[in-house]
């Protein structure tokens, strides 16, 4: 898995808002028509995308696509747009599409729209397989179309605020867990939830993944609902990723330990804390073993003020999904590269495939080495007349 040299370290930059305003003013002066966008999928994310995209001044929401009549009509009525049963009905009517359909449909919907010259925003994961991602990337590149992937946590204001202040991460730990929502059950938790953190650690580490260890287990179906992965990068960085969609605790947090400090990011509350060790700590001048009892007490009392100063990062109150939509519109209008390209989505998917491969291998190994019999095993046939040696 190779990383694109253009992979940005941080997420969405707020100055793009002012650039969008300037862009809209220039277009109005030229009398340019609005960008015509359709949304494919009226589920949870599709509904959110529909609500937000219609608030962008440069956008005309053409319609919402979903095969389920009741769901489609509800969203169409709520947001005063037209409902369609098939994405092909939008061809010729739109310039760009937001694909929020189930993952198994991303590839063929994307290919058909790309062949019609339509710019694509595809919710994560980009496709089900790397082979599909490669084909979709080729299709959009050959037609000079924008292909953006909905790794929304890259635009989370807490990640944006903290990631730019942590350099050369050494160790990253992420937990993404919640209850069972019955959404995205066409894929397991790796492609549903962990893919977010895979993309984030790739953007932070800026290096190739050289080793993957993983374990996972299903709860409600054929796909894993709980997963753990350990990634080792060529530059020495390590990342532990934990994901669960059957957890009684809700958690979306990441801890990043770097050579210049530590960052704790809470994606759920959009908050972040930074610890920057003092100069004395960085120079190794604090010899804890030789401190007097009074000096040890002073260290304990002033740990996060004098020795490891703790800072609550100022985080802007922003809507990450709206920010990524702005990025999509700007990329189409200006020809610039979006923050999360199809290649970035492909790289995250490639690591996810390796994780899923390890999970499959580990589950096979555990089944072969199981010492506890399953209910289907018959230890001995009925009526066995095996002679037993008497004791004594």
**Tell me: the pLDDT tens digits for 187-233?**
999 999 999 999 999 999 999 999 999 999 999 988 899 999 999 99
Helix (H, G, I), strand (E, B) or coil at 211: strand
Residue 277 has pLDDT above 70, yes or no: yes
Distance between CA atoms of residues 267 and 271, nearest Å: 7
User: Does residue 345 contact residue 125 with C-beta atoms inside 8 Å?
Assistant: yes
β-strand partners of 172:
239, 256
Arithmetic mean of pLDDT, 15-34 = 62
pLDDT at 391 over 70: no
Tell me which residue of 103, 106, 130, 128 sits closest to 350, measured CA to CA. 130
Asked whether residue 343 carries a pLDDT value surpassing 90, the answer given is yes
Token couple for 317: 């109150």
* Residue range 133-173, pLDDT digits in tens: 999 999 999 999 999 999 999 999 999 999 988 889 999 99
Which pLDDT score is estimated for 379?
45
This prediction's pTM: 0.85
The whole-angstrom separation of Cα 305 and Cα 219 is 45
Domains of the chain: 15-152+320-342 (3.40.50.720), 155-312 (3.30.360.10)
Task: Using alpha carbons, list the distances in angstroms from residue 219 to 180, 315, 370.
Answer: 10, 37, 19
For residues 319-328, average pLDDT: 97
Instruction: Compute φ and ψ for 171, nearest 5 degrees.
Output: -150, 135
């Amino acid at each position: 898995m190779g990383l694109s040299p253009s992979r940005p370290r941080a997420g969405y930059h707020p100055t793009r808002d002012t650039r969008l305003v300037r862009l809209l003013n220039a277009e109005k002066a030229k009398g340019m028509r609005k960008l015509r966008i359709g949304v494919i999928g009226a589920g949870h994310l599709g509904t959110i995308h529909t609500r937000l995209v219609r608030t962008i001044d440069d956008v005309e929401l053409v319609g919402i696509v979903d095969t389920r009549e009741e769901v489609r009509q509800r969203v169409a009525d709520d947001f005063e747009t037209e409902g369609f049963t098939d994405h092909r009905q939008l061809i010729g009517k739109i310039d760009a599409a937001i694909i929020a359909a189930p993952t198994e449909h991303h590839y063929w919907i994307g290919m058909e729209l790309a062949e019609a010259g339509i710019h694509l925003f595809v919710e994560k994961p980009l496709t089900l397989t790397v082979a599909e991602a490669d084909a979709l990337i080729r299709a959009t590149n050959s037609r000079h179309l924008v292909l953006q992937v909905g790794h929304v946590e890259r635009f989370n204001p807490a990640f944006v605020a903290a990631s730019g202040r942590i350099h050369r991460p050494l160790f990253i730990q992420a937990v993404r867990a919640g209850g069972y929502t019955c959404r995205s059950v066409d894929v397991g938790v790796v492609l549903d939830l962990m893919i977010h953190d895979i993309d984030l650690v790739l953007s932070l580490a800026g290096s190739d993944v050289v080793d993957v260890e993983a374990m996972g287990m299903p709860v409600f179906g054929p796909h894993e609902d709980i997963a753990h992965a350990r990634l080792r990068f060529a530059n020495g960085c390590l990342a532990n990723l934990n994901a669960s969609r059957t957890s009684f605790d809700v958690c979306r947090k990441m801890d990043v330990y770097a050579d210049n400090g530590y960052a704790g990011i809470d994606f759920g509350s959009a908050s972040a804390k930074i610890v920057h060790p003092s100069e004395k700590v960085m120079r190794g001048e604090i010899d804890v073993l030789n401190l007097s009892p009074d000096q040890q007490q002073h260290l304990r009392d002033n740990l996060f003020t004098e020795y490891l100063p703790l800072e609550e990062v100022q985080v802007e109150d922003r809507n990450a999904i709206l920010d990524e939509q702005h990025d999509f519109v700007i990329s189409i209008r200006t020809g610039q590269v979006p923050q999360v390209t199809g290649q970035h989505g492909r790289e995250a998917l490639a690591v996810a495939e390796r994780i899923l491969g390890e999970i499959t291998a580990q589950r096979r190994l555990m089944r072969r080495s199981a010492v506890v019999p399953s209910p289907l095993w018959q230890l001995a046939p009925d009526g066995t007349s095996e002679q037993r040696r008497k004791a004594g």
